[in-house]
A and B are shown apart, each in its own frame.
Chain A
Amino acid sequence: MAANTEVEASEEDIQDASEIDSYWPAIIGLSAGGIAVTGALMILSGFSILFGAAMGILFLILILAFVRDEIHKWPKVTANSLKTLRSGGVTGDFHEIGGVGFPVALFLLTEVMLFAGAFGMFFYLRSGYAVWPPPEAPQLNIFIPSIQTAFLITSSVLIEYATSSVKRGNQNGVKIGFLGAVLLGALFFAVQFGFEWPNLLLTGELLPSDGLFGASFFLLTGFHGVHVLAGVIANGIVTVRAFMGQFSEKNHGFLESAGTYWHFVHIVWLFLFAFLWQGGLGFF
């Protein structure tokens, strides 16, 4: 049955391929984008809210007209995806999907740029201060972030254990590794947003309105926290799929991708720990 689905999909792909040679999707997409941006600029610059709204409505009409023919395929696509998930995922050669390929690397590159921008903003604004951390900034306790770092190190080790286990066909190792990583990630998140943030905010020790230090602390840790949450969700999905027995020696691309993302989230934390809690590079 699964093989038939793959054959059908291939025939559909061949049919779709004949329709690819058209410039219209790109032209319509770019035009619609241009209209949306123009409308937004009209509203934001105060030129005309009416014209801006009209541009927005025109953009929606264009998009709806463009995807009208595609919408009826969505239930089928969704059903096929769910069916693939239930049946054990996509199979393939080890070297094709076992390692983390170009798409994940590209995704991580966008994340690197995102955090590089955030840290760049932080250092640019910080350069205006003669002394860093500013004298009025509170001395943050490093005990909590040290514990959080321990959570992350342990979770990364568990993920490596799980990855090593899946390559040996040890299903229990995969389950234990990712379940542990999910729990530790959730603990990290709970400590950050259930303890440290409320503690700082409610006692008034540090507020987002407390100058650059307060604003950047909550912005960067909040930003990172959202990524931790995304990592916990991704690892949670891997865990559920591991308990369903959907990973094998030759089929674990998603597992490795989620693990790599988690490692990335971990490494960003090291910089946050050094720069926010320890006043890293304060000698410049």
Chain B
Amino acid sequence: MARRIRVLLMRLSTGYFGIFVITAAISAAGTLGLPDMSLSAFLPADLFGSLTGDPPEAAQYQRLLNIVPGVIPSPFVAMFGIPAILGLTLGQFVASTTSPLGPISLYSPLVTLVALFFIYLLRKRSVILGALVFTAVTTLWISLSELLVFGTQIASTFPLAFLAQLAPIIVGYIAYVLAKSSNIFRTEAKSREEERRILA
């Protein structure tokens, strides 16, 4: 019992709560607060569409290529662990409440949760591999949602959504590598390790 209470106190540490809130806020605000940035301006309108013969409508095309800055912090899951996973999932939930896809988008946080765990589980092997799996899983869900809501074939939406998801992930990965190499969060992680050791 005492052990459980100690674990509870550790979990309620402001460090964990802070990471949870900050990642949730960046994820939600990155999606809700920033103006739409679409890759469509840089890509030809019939890209990938000719491959399947089922090109998306112009508005859908533009939406699929919208960059979501809210996923930029995803690679940082490898550094901050479970609190960041939960925070990004909550941020995804808040962002999903305003999705044009409707109620089906409320399942997106669950997909995000699972996808983020891939980054977490693969963090010791390869963070970039985990980030790519994250991108693939979330893109697959986006394509499936588009199929269910608009009836557009997955083959034509997947490549577009993948590009839009990959761009912020690359930015996030670069930021992660820079943060890791500069040891900017080392002391915080060290403090949490010390806290964990004392509570054990």
Contact = CB atoms under 8 A, between A and B. Distances in A.
A257 B24 CA distance: 20
A274 B195 contact: no
Interface of B: prevailing SS: helix
Given A99-B195, A270-B25, A163 B18 contact: yes
A197 interface: no
A270 B17 contact: no
B191 A271 contact: no
Nearest to A284: B103
A282 B15 CA distance: 34
Contact of B12 (A104, A156, A278, A281): A104
Interface stretch (B89-97, B107-115, B135-143): B89-97
A152 B18 CA distance: 12
A168 B191 contact: yes
A153 B22 contact: yes
Interface stretch (B28-36, B51-59, B121-129, B160-168): B28-36
Contact of A270 (B9, B10, B12, B24): B24
Interface centre among B12, B20, B34 (most CB of A within 10 A): B12
A266 interface: yes
A101 B18 CA distance: 15
Interface stretch (A53-61, A69-77, A142-150): A142-150
B198 interface: yes
B50 interface: no
B187 interface: yes
Contacts of A101: 9, 12
Given A163-B14, A168-B187, A283-B102, A278 B29 contact: no
A91 B74 CA distance: 39
Interface string B39-80: 000000000000000000000000000000000000000000
B6 interface: yes
A266 B24 CA distance: 10
A267 interface: yes
Given A95-B199, A271-B94, A160 B24 contact: no
B198 A95 contact: yes
B26 interface: yes
Interface centre among A157, A159, A263 (most CB of B within 10 A): A263
Contacts of B12: 99-101, 104-105, 260
A13 to B, nearest CB: 23
Nearest to B22: A156
Interface string A94-112: 1100111110110000000
Nearest to A271: B94
A138 interface: no
Given A167-B191, A167-B194, A274-B97, A259 B14 contact: yes
A209 B64 CA distance: 40
B194 A266 contact: no
Using C-beta atoms within 8 Å of the partner chain, give the interface range for chain B: 35 or more
B19 interface: yes
Nearest to A278: B98
Contacts of A102: 5, 8-9
Contacts of B8: 102
A253 to B, nearest CB: 10
Contacts of B97: 274-275, 278, 280-281
A117 interface: no
B13 interface: yes
B183 to A, nearest CB: 13
A33 interface: no
Contact of A160 (B102, B188, B194): B188
A115 interface: no
A273 interface: yes
B21 interface: yes
Given A99-B195, A101-B9, A256-B13, A270 B94 contact: yes
Given A142-B33, A167-B194, A160 B25 contact: no
A263 B33 contact: no
A164 interface: yes
A180 B20 CA distance: 20
Nearest to A95: B198
B18 A259 contact: yes
9 contacts: A99-B12, A105-B12, A146-B29, A153-B22, A267-B21, A273-B29, A273-B32, A274-B28, A282-B98
Given A100-B13, A163-B18, 5 more contacts: A98-B195, A150-B29, A264-B21, A274-B94, A283-B102
